[in-house]
Structure 1
Amino acid sequence: MLKRVLISSVVAGALVGCTDSGDVNLSPTNISTGGGTGGGTGSNVCASYTESGQTFQGSFDGQDCVYSALFVSDSKPITVDSVTFSNFGGKHIFEDSLFIGEDVNASAAQAGKRIPQEAEGTRLNIAAGVTMVFKNTDGYVRIARGSQIFAEGTASSPITFTSDEDAILGTATESDRGQWGGIQINGNGRTNKCHDGTSTGSGFASKGSTSDFSATANNVHNCHVTAEGRPATYGGNNNAENSGVLTYVVIKHAGFEVVDGDELNALTLNAVGSGTTISHVQTYTSQDDGFEMFGGAVNMDHIVAVNVGDDSIDYSEGYNGDIQYAVVAHTSGGNRCIEGDNTGGSRDDGFTPTTKLRISNLTCVTSNVDENAGTNPSGKGDSEGPLYREGAFFEMYNSLVTSYATSMASNECLELDDSEGPQTIDAAQAGTSIASSNVIACSEATKAGADAANAGFDLVNWLAGGGANAQTPANSNTNNVLITGADVAASAIGSVLEGTAGSRAYLTAASIQNGAGTQVFDQSTQLFDAATLGSIFKTPTYLGGANSGDNWLDGWTVGFDKPFNP
C-alpha cells in the first residue's frame, strides 16, 4: 500500500511554474550559472536543475523526495553541469533510473561528436548520510564517460543506495537480491575489447597497427565498448582518469539480470581510471557481482562484499589495478571471492592489454554451499575462493582464505585454470603472477586445471617456491601456508578468525593456528611489505582484511550482525 501511495504523490515530471510561494523559481537570476542546484527553493528540499530555461525538481511529500521519469530516467539523462542530492533527513526516491551525463556512442563519436573526457560531463554530488532509493528492478545509476560521481559519506553517516522494498516497505531479506540495478560508472580507460595497435590486440586482423587508443582525425580516441544493461559506452586511452569519489557507500539488494550474460552488478567500473577514489565501499545482497571491473586501472581500498550472489570481486578486459584491505563473506549462496579473466567467452585469452590484479590483505570466507543450495540459494555457482583463469594475471599478498563450515569444509579455495589456453599458468611459471604471505585454511585448499603444455604444473609446490618439475620452476613465492587435510581445526573461529560460534566472523585471529593449536603463520615476521609495490599500498601489520585492532568495518557496514546461515 505504501508503495502505491508514494507513486501517486509524484508531481508529474516535477516541472512546475514560477510563483512567489511555489517550489521552483524559473527566473534565471535564481539559477546558478553552473546549470544545477541542490536543495531546491522555498519549502522544497529536493534536488533540482535547470535546462533550456526550465527548472526540474523532485516532489517533496513532507518526508521524502520523489523523482519521476520526467526529472531523470534512462531516456532523460541529466546533462547540466551538476546536480546535488542533499541530506535533509528524508530519502531520495527514484521512479526510474538516475542517468548522469551524455553517452556518446561509436556512431556519434565517429561522426565527430566529442567524447567527453575527465570532468567535461555532469557532476553528481551526494551528501553524507543520504539514502538513494530505486523503485524499479531495472532502475540504476549510470555515470557516462567524462561525467563524475562524488558520493562522500563518513563512518557515522554512510551513503546508502538501495531498493524501496528495503528502505520504504521494510520487506527485503537476504534472499532478495536484484531488487534494482546498481551503480555503473563508465570511463575513458583502456580495455582489450579495443585494439592496442599490436599483433596481439583484439582488432589486429582488420586494423593492423592503427590503435583505437590513438586520436583520430575528429576525436580523442576510437575506443567504444557497449556496456551491459541499457546502451551505454565505455573505453578510451586514459587509465589515469578521475571519475569521482565513492567513500563510505553501501550498495544493497542490487544486481538486476537483464538476460544471462548481461547483468547489472552492484558496482560496475567500466574502464575507470586510477584517478578515481573507491574507499570504504560495501556491496550487500546483490544478484550478480559485487565489484566488477572491465578494463581501466581503478584502485580500491577497504571494500566489503557480503551475501553476493555471484562473484564478490570480478575483473577482466585488460583491467590493471590494485586493492588493499578487502573483506568477503559468503552466506548460503554465492560463487567466488575473486574471479579473474583476461577475456572470457570465445575471445582469445592472449589479447592485450593483458589483465592483472594486485591485491593485498584480502579476507575471503567461503560457506561450502553449492549452487542452488542453502537458505538463500544462488544459481551462479558453488561458494569458492579466488579463481584466476583465461589469461588473467595476479599478485596476491597477505591474504586469508577459509570457510565458515564445520572443519573448514569447502570447495576449492584457490584455483588456477588454463584449460582453454596457457596464459594464466604461463604467467605463474614466469613469475609474472606472484603469491606470498597467504594463509589458505580449507578442506579443499587448491585446484589447478592446465592445458596439455602445462599438465605437470603443481600449484601447491608453486605456492611453496616451486622447483618440483619443469612445469613448476623455482620462483620468489614465500611464506604461503596451507592448513588442510588433517591440519584443519574444527572451526575457522579460534583458528584463523576471531568471533563466536555460528557468527559471520571476519576479524583475523591474533594467532594463526592449525587444528593442533600450533601457530603456523607469524604475523610479526612473515607478512609481505606491500608498500614496496607503490601505488595505494601501505605496510600491513596483520594478515587479511581486518583485525580487532583495525576494525574499520565497525559502525557503517551491514550484514555481519546476522548468524552464518547455510
Structure 2
Amino acid sequence: MKRLFASLLTLSALAFTPACGDDNTPDNPNPPPTDTTEDVSSNITQDTTWKAGFTYTLKNYIFVESGTLTIEPGARILGDQGSALVITRNARIHAVGTAAAPIVFTSSRPVGSRASGDWGGVVLLGKGHVNVAGGENAVEGFFASESNPLTRYGGGATPDASHNCGSLNYVRIEFAGFELSEDNELNGLTVAGCGSDTDLDYIQVHLGADDGIEFFGGSANLSHAVVTQADDDSLDYDLGYNGKIQFFIAQQNAVVGNYGIEASGNRNQNAATPRSTPEIWNATFIGSGRPAGTSPVQSGMVFNTGAGGKLNNIIVAHFADFAIDVSGTASAALWNQATPELYLRNTFFWSNRGDTSSIQFVPNPSVDSSGNITNPDVSNFNEQERVLASGLNNRVLDPQLTDARNLTAPNFMPAAGSPALNPDNAASPPGGFFDPSARFVGALGTENWLAGWTAFPEN
C-alpha cells in the first residue's frame, strides 16, 4: 500500500517541534539531544559535520554533491514533507552512532502526529554495477530525474565493485518513504550501485511508506538490520544486486506490507547480467498472521524476473498468503541449475496461511487477452515439493520466538529450548564477511543485538 503526496510539488513549511518534547521513553530509549536546531536547505559541496547535541531539519531534497557528510553519534535529523538526504556518486556519508547514542532520522512533525511517508528517507548512490544498458541509471523517487546528474548511479562501462558510499552504523530511519508515481518511489533506505566497501551495520527502518531497504545493483553488504512495518516490502533488491546480508529481521503489520523479500532481476531483460543473487544468512521474516485473501497480498518472499538468492538459516512465519513464490521461468531456472543461484537451506516455515504442516504451492498462470488461462503454471515450479525436498534441511517447524508479532515492543528472540537454537538445524556461515559462529536458524541466537538502540513508536 503506497501513498502519493501531491504536496511534494510545493514543499511544506512545517513548524519544528524541539526534540526535548521527545523524551526518554520506551519508544525512544536513548537520551535526546539538546534543543540546538539548524535548518538544512542547501546542497552540500564540501566536508561537513553534523554534530552531537544538534537537531538538523531537512527542508527539501538535500544532495551531498561532494566531500564527506559526517554525522556524530546522537545527532538527530528531521525531515520535512518533500525532503530527502541523497549521497551522490562523488560524495560519502560517515554516520556512525553507538548503541547508547544512535543517529536518528525521523519526521519533523510533532510526536503523536508522525506517520509513514512524512519525508523521503536516505539515498546512497554509487559507482558499482547495475545490469541495465549503459551500466548506469536514474534512481527512483525524483521528478525529471533522467536530466539531473545528481540522481544517477552505476559505474557505466567500468563499474567499481568496491566503491565506498560511506558508513551507516547504529542508525534509525523512521516515517520515511513516499511514492511520486507508480514504480517511482523513495524507500526508507535506498542503496543504489554501492560497492562492497560500503559499511551498513546496525540499521533500523521503521514505518516506511514504501520498501524498508532496497538495493539497486551493486554489491554493498548489510548486517544487523531490522525493518518494521514497511508499507510495501521489507527487503527489495533488483538490477543485479549481489552483496552479502547477515542478521536481518522483517516484521509486517496487519494493515499494510507486501513481501518480506521481493527479489527482481531486470524486468525488461530477465537474462541481464550480473544477476540479482545475494547471499543471505540468519534472517527472520515475520508476517502479521492476518486472514488470507485480504489486500495487499502479504507473503514471505517472491523471486521473479530472473532474480535468485542464496539463503541459509532462515525463519519465514505468519504470512497471510504464502511463504515463498518462485515466479517465472527465469528465476525457476536459477533453482534448477547444477550449481544453483537460487535456494533456501536450513529454513523453518511456520503458520504461513495458517498452515503448520506444509507450505503453499503458488501457481503462476498465464492468460490471454480475454482473460482465459492458457497455462496454469508458467514457472513449472511447485514450491511445496521443491522447497521442502530432502537434502535442503528445510522444514515446517515452530521457531518458538518470544513475541515477534508485537508491534510496539517486539521480542524476536527464540525462547529457551527453541529448535532454532539447535545447531543441528543450521549450517555454519562461511566466514569472511559472515560471522561463522552464527550456527542457529533466524537472525537471533542467544544475544539480542537490537537492545538499546532500536525503537518502535506508533506515531
Band the TM-score falls in, shorter-chain normalisation: 0.7 to 0.9
Do the aligned residues in 2 keep the contact of 1:178 with 1:253 (CA within 8 Å)?
yes
Measured after TM superposition, the shift of residue 91 of structure 1 is 1.2
Counterpart residue number, 1:158: 102
Structure 1's 427 and 371: CA in aligned 2 closer, same or farther, altered over 3 A? same
- Aligned counterparts of 1:454 and 1:392: Cα–Cα separation in 2: 16
Matched, 1:191 2:130: yes
Which of structures 1 and 2 has the bigger CA Rg?
1
Counterpart residue number, 2:154: 235
Structure 1's 331 and 6: CA in aligned 2 closer, same or farther, altered over 3 A? closer
Measured after TM superposition, the shift of residue 384 of structure 1 is 1.4
Ranges in structure 2 where 5+ consecutive residues have no aligned partner: 1-12, 18-33, 146-150, 354-358, 366-374
Matched, 1:283 2:205: yes
Counterpart residue number, 2:422: 523
Structure 1's 158 and 6: CA in aligned 2 closer, same or farther, altered over 3 A? closer
The 5-angstrom pairing of residues 70-219 of structure 1 reads 72=42, 77-80=43-46, 82-87=47-52, 89-101=53-65, 121-135=66-80, 137-165=81-109, 169-173=110-114, 176-194=115-133, 212=134
Do the aligned residues in 1 keep the contact of 2:58 with 2:84 (CA within 8 Å)?
no
Paired AA for residue 458 in structure 1:
N
Do the aligned residues in 2 keep the contact of 1:369 with 1:382 (CA within 8 Å)?
no
Counterpart residue number, 1:336: 259
Structure 1's 455 and 286: CA in aligned 2 closer, same or farther, altered over 3 A? closer
Structure 1's 312 and 245: CA in aligned 2 closer, same or farther, altered over 3 A? same
| DSSP-derived class of the 1:423 partner | helix
Structure 1's 411 and 224: CA in aligned 2 closer, same or farther, altered over 3 A? same
- Structure 1 residue aligned with 2:413, among 492, 507, 512? 507
> C-alpha offsets along residues 343-383 of structure 1, whole Å, 9 cap, x if unaligned?
12xx021112211121111111101347997xxxxx7x322
| DSSP-derived class of the 1:506 partner | strand
Measured after TM superposition, the shift of residue 461 of structure 1 is 2.8
Paired AA for residue 504 in structure 1:
P
| DSSP-derived class of the 1:424 partner | helix
> C-alpha offsets along residues 267-323 of structure 1, whole Å, 9 cap, x if unaligned?
000111110000000000000001000000001000000011000000000111110
Matched, 1:544 2:448: no
The two structures have a TM-score, normalised by structure 2, of: 0.81
Ranges in structure 1 where 5+ consecutive residues have no aligned partner: 8-61, 102-120, 195-211, 213-222, 374-378, 404-408, 467-476, 484-491, 513-518
Do the aligned residues in 1 keep the contact of 2:293 with 2:321 (CA within 8 Å)?
no
State the percentage of identical aligned residues.
Answer: 25
- Structure 2 residue aligned with 1:429, among 329, 332, 336? 336
Do the aligned residues in 2 keep the contact of 1:367 with 1:410 (CA within 8 Å)?
yes
- Aligned counterparts of 2:383 and 2:284: Cα–Cα separation in 1: 20
Q: What is the aligned length?
A: 400
Measured after TM superposition, the shift of residue 537 of structure 1 is 4.5
Counterpart residue number, 1:110: none
Paired AA for residue 139 in structure 2:
A
Structure 1's 500 and 353: CA in aligned 2 closer, same or farther, altered over 3 A? closer
> C-alpha offsets along residues 500-537 of structure 1, whole Å, 9 cap, x if unaligned?
9966341123434xxxxxx6x672212111126x4434
Measured after TM superposition, the shift of residue 450 of structure 1 is 5.1
The two structures have a TM-score, normalised by structure 1, of: 0.66
Measured after TM superposition, the shift of residue 100 of structure 1 is 0.2
Structure 1's 98 and 541: CA in aligned 2 closer, same or farther, altered over 3 A? same
- Aligned counterparts of 1:6 and 1:552: Cα–Cα separation in 2: 32
- Structure 2 residue aligned with 1:449, among 340, 363, 383? 363
Do the aligned residues in 2 keep the contact of 1:290 with 1:311 (CA within 8 Å)?
yes
Paired AA for residue 414 in structure 1:
I
Considering only aligned residues, what root-mean-square deviation do their CA atoms show, in Å? 2.6
- Aligned counterparts of 1:147 and 1:370: Cα–Cα separation in 2: 46
| DSSP-derived class of the 2:430 partner | helix
**More RCO (CA 8 Å, sep 6+):** 2
> C-alpha offsets along residues 407-428 of structure 1, whole Å, 9 cap, x if unaligned?
xx7311222111xxx1111111
Matched, 1:272 2:194: yes
- Structure 1 residue aligned with 2:136, among 197, 219, 224? 224
Counterpart residue number, 1:351: 272
Paired AA for residue 155 in structure 1:
A
- Aligned counterparts of 2:291 and 2:209: Cα–Cα separation in 1: 16
Do the aligned residues in 1 keep the contact of 2:60 with 2:83 (CA within 8 Å)?
yes
Do the aligned residues in 1 keep the contact of 2:322 with 2:362 (CA within 8 Å)?
no
Do the aligned residues in 1 keep the contact of 2:286 with 2:316 (CA within 8 Å)?
yes
Counterpart residue number, 1:383: 298
Do the aligned residues in 1 keep the contact of 2:214 with 2:236 (CA within 8 Å)?
yes
Paired AA for residue 56 in structure 2:
H
| DSSP-derived class of the 1:149 partner | strand
Structure 1's 233 and 500: CA in aligned 2 closer, same or farther, altered over 3 A? closer
- Aligned counterparts of 2:344 and 2:452: Cα–Cα separation in 1: 32
Structure 1's 438 and 501: CA in aligned 2 closer, same or farther, altered over 3 A? closer
Do the aligned residues in 2 keep the contact of 1:361 with 1:399 (CA within 8 Å)?
yes
Counterpart residue number, 1:412: 322
Counterpart residue number, 1:220: none
